[in-house]
Amino acid sequence: MRIVMIGAGYVGLVSGACFASMGTEVIVVEKDPCRVAALQAGRIPIYEPGLERLVADSVRAGRLRFEAALDRALPGADAVFLAVGTPSRRGDGHADLSHVFAAAAELAAALPAPTVLVTKSTVPVGTGRRLAALMREIRPDLDVPVASNPEFLREGSAIEDFMRPDRIVVGTDSVQAEAVLRALYRPLNPAGVTLLCTGLETAELIKYATNAFLAMKITFINEMADLCEQVGADVHELARGMGLDRRIGPKFLHPGPGFGGSCFPKDTQALMRIAQDAHAPARLVETVVSVNEARKAAMAGRILAAFGGTVRRRRIAVLGLTFKPETDDMRDSPAIPIVHRLVELGAEVVAYDPAGMEQARRDLPAEVVYASGAASALAGADGAVLVTEWNEFRALAPDWLRATMRGRVVVDLRNVFDPAAMRAAGLDHHAIGRPAPHRALAGEAELALAAAD
Ligand code: UDX
């Protein structure tokens, strides 16, 4: 089979390379000529473990190529996938569909024969119908079946997520589109993956509802962590106790500084707007959005409280800047409001991240100093704040931390260190949602921030 993937961004590249590795002939079309040239030269413009190798193998096998001109890619295609960006529109939180409709209009004008149009981009409910109408309007001579095939890829494990999905969702109102998508995903059949066929609107909503539900799970455990601190309970034992109930499941119950990234913040906002516009307000989702924003902002208060109420002229090592490990993505990372606030409060921030420093320079204040590794960030620091749980930070031994830093404060916003071992090494360790003799409680943190203002 043969497909065209419009957009060589994160989703387009991962999906294109994975389809190619499953035996499909894939042409990825990208408007940006620099990006096409880089890809043709074997350079992958995004950070995703395993992707460079997968792309190189498929290119060598002759199943994957990159093209700047859409009309050259289309002849012979069984399906065209739209994998262009749908960022949050400034001001109202709706998804910005300008790239989707521009690509669809260009496609309609250029299509040489009836071809299935599939949206991979996350688009609001009703977009599939609007695309079908656009196709009919521009090309009344052609029958273009439309399908919605949302992706559920996590940054850092996107290839694994594509090749071994929990399910494949295909929304369509045409037998022909369903048949093409079933054939494309057939190589995954032996693994017993369920391909769920629904209407267009349902598939579009499954994507948003899934992400909003996961975001809600995280937000729930974060609130429980605050409660644990106040009543002397341990949030990890709580999460385990809840997660063993198979109706709940153990995943996405890890407390932290609030969710970030390219999907959860954008998709929860968009679902909230979709529901409001449909006069069926999603109040839980609205609350998740505001609780998560407030949480990210409150983290600086915890740090302040851990440092005894002031961080002025304190040298603070910030370990991890990206919204999660195994990515260079800083979008909506909790590190952004945390570092801004620490700098405002007079702290000297020395930051280190294994992959995100280039992007971080754009998002963090100019005063931040960047270290070349954890050791140089920590050397002589009055304290450390762990924001992202990269494996290399897990490996830092408490005794070594104590010997390397000048001070003793460690604010562990991802609970990667063992509180007892940290205490035994003489460190003043502050975790999230765990009992400890000295810790910055959620309540204290608010007071500390109020006092600083
Ligand atoms: C997410 C979805 O998982 C994926 O299916 C969708 O296609 C895109 O959005 P991603 O944003 O890459 O993927 O990362 P994910 O691993 O889901 O984490 C999202 C955020 O939630 C991160 O900031 C992470 O630190 C946070 N998180 C996740 C927690 O705080 N606790 C958890 O238990 C899980």
What average pLDDT score do residues 105-116 get?
Answer: 96
Reported as half-sphere exposure (CB side, CA atoms, 13 A), residue 224 has a value of 19
| Residue 263: active-site member | yes
What average pLDDT score do residues 67-89 get?
Answer: 95
Domain positions in the chain are 2-198, 292-452
SS3 string, the chain, reads CEEEEECCCHHHHHHHHHHHHCCCEEEEECCCHHHHHHHHCCCCCCCCCCHHHHHHHHHHCCCEEEECCHHHHCCCCCEEEECCCCCECCCCCCECCHHHHHHHHHHHHHCCCCCEEEECCCCCCCHHHHHHHHHHHHCCCCCCCEEECCCCCCCCCHHHHHHCCCEEEEEECCHHHHHHHHHHHHHHHHHCCEEEEECHHHHHHHHHHHHHHHHHHHHHHHHHHHHHHHHCCCHHHHHHHHHCCCCCCCCCCCCCCCCCCCCHHHHHHHHHHHHHHCCCCCHHHHHHHHHHHHHHHHHHHHHHHHCCCCCCCCEEEEECCCCCCCCCCCCCCCHHHHHHHHHHCCCEEEEECCCCHHHHHHHCCCCCEECCCHHHHHCCCCEEEECCCCHHHHCCCHHHHHHHCCCCEEEECCCCCCHHHHHHCCCEEECCCCCCCCCCCHHHHHHHHHHHC
What average pLDDT score do residues 229-243 get?
Answer: 97
pLDDT at 436: 64
Q: Please name which of 297, 389, 328 lies closest in space to residue 48, comparing C-alpha atoms.
A: 328
The answer to whether ipTM exceeds 0.95 is yes
pLDDT at 93: 80
pLDDT at 89: 84
Could you read off the pLDDT of 328-356 as tens digits, one per residue? 999 999 999 999 999 999 999 999 999 99
The CATH number given to 292-452 is 3.40.50.720
Cα distance between the two ends of the chain: 62
How far apart (Å, rounded) are the C-alpha atoms in residues 310 and 451?
A: 9
The pair of three-digit structure tokens given for residue 81, joined into one six-digit string? 């996938």
What average pLDDT score do residues 423-452 get?
Answer: 79
pLDDT at 447: 73
Question: Is residue 314 marked as binding?
Answer: no
Q: Which residue has the tokens 């045409």?
A: 174
pLDDT at 442: 65
Could you read off the pLDDT of 139-171 as tens digits, one per residue? 999 999 999 999 999 999 999 999 999 999 999
Residue 189: pLDDT over 90: no
Give 209 Cα–ligand 1 centroid separation in angstroms.
14
Same fold, 2-198 and 292-452: yes
Q: Which atom of ligand 1 is nearest to the CA of 261?
A: 11
Contact of 8 with 65, CB cutoff 8 Å = no
What average pLDDT score do residues 380-406 get?
Answer: 98
Task: Give the residues surrounding ligand 1 with Cβ less than 6 Å away.
Answer: 151-155, 211, 214, 218, 252-254, 256, 259-261, 263-264, 323-324
SS3 string, 23-47, reads CCEEEEECCCHHHHHHHHCCCCCCC
Question: Is residue 419 marked as binding?
Answer: no
Assign domain 2-198 one CATH number from 3.40.50.720, 3.30.530.20, 3.20.20.70, 3.40.50.800: 3.40.50.720
- What's the pLDDT band for 81 if we cut at 50, 70, 90? very high
What average pLDDT score do residues 404-431 get?
Answer: 97
Residue 186: pLDDT over 90: yes
pLDDT at 450: 76
- What's the pLDDT band for 83 if we cut at 50, 70, 90? very high
% of the chain residues with pLDDT over 70:
98
Q: Which atom of ligand 1 is nearest to the CA of 257?
A: 30
pLDDT at 384: 98
Residue 438: pLDDT over 60: no
Query: Atom 3, ligand 1: which residue's CA is nearest?
Result: 154
Give 179 Cα–ligand 1 centroid separation in angstroms.
32
Query: Atom 25, ligand 1: which residue's CA is nearest?
Result: 324
Give 264 Cα–ligand 1 centroid separation in angstroms.
7
pLDDT at 437: 56
- What's the pLDDT band for 110 if we cut at 50, 70, 90? very high
% of the chain residues with pLDDT over 90:
91
**Chain-wide mean pLDDT for the chain?**
95
- What's the pLDDT band for 91 if we cut at 50, 70, 90? confident
What amino acid is encoded at 406 in this protein? Answer: R
Question: Is residue 246 marked as binding?
Answer: no
Give 259 Cα–ligand 1 centroid separation in angstroms.
7
Query: What own/partner pairs with CB < 8 Å and gap ≥ 24 does 107-112 have?
Result: 107/6, 107/70, 107/74, 107/80, 108/134, 108/135, 108/138, 108/139, 108/144, 109/138, 109/139, 110/70, 110/71, 110/74, 111/74, 111/80, 111/139, 111/142, 111/144, 112/74, 112/75
What average pLDDT score do residues 87-101 get?
Answer: 88
Mean pLDDT check: name the lowest of 11-20, 53-62, 390-399, 435-444.
Answer: 435-444
Q: Which comes out higher in pLDDT, residue 318 or 92? A: 318
Could you read off the pLDDT of 17-32 as tens digits, one per residue? 999 999 999 999 999 9
Question: Is residue 140 marked as binding?
Answer: no
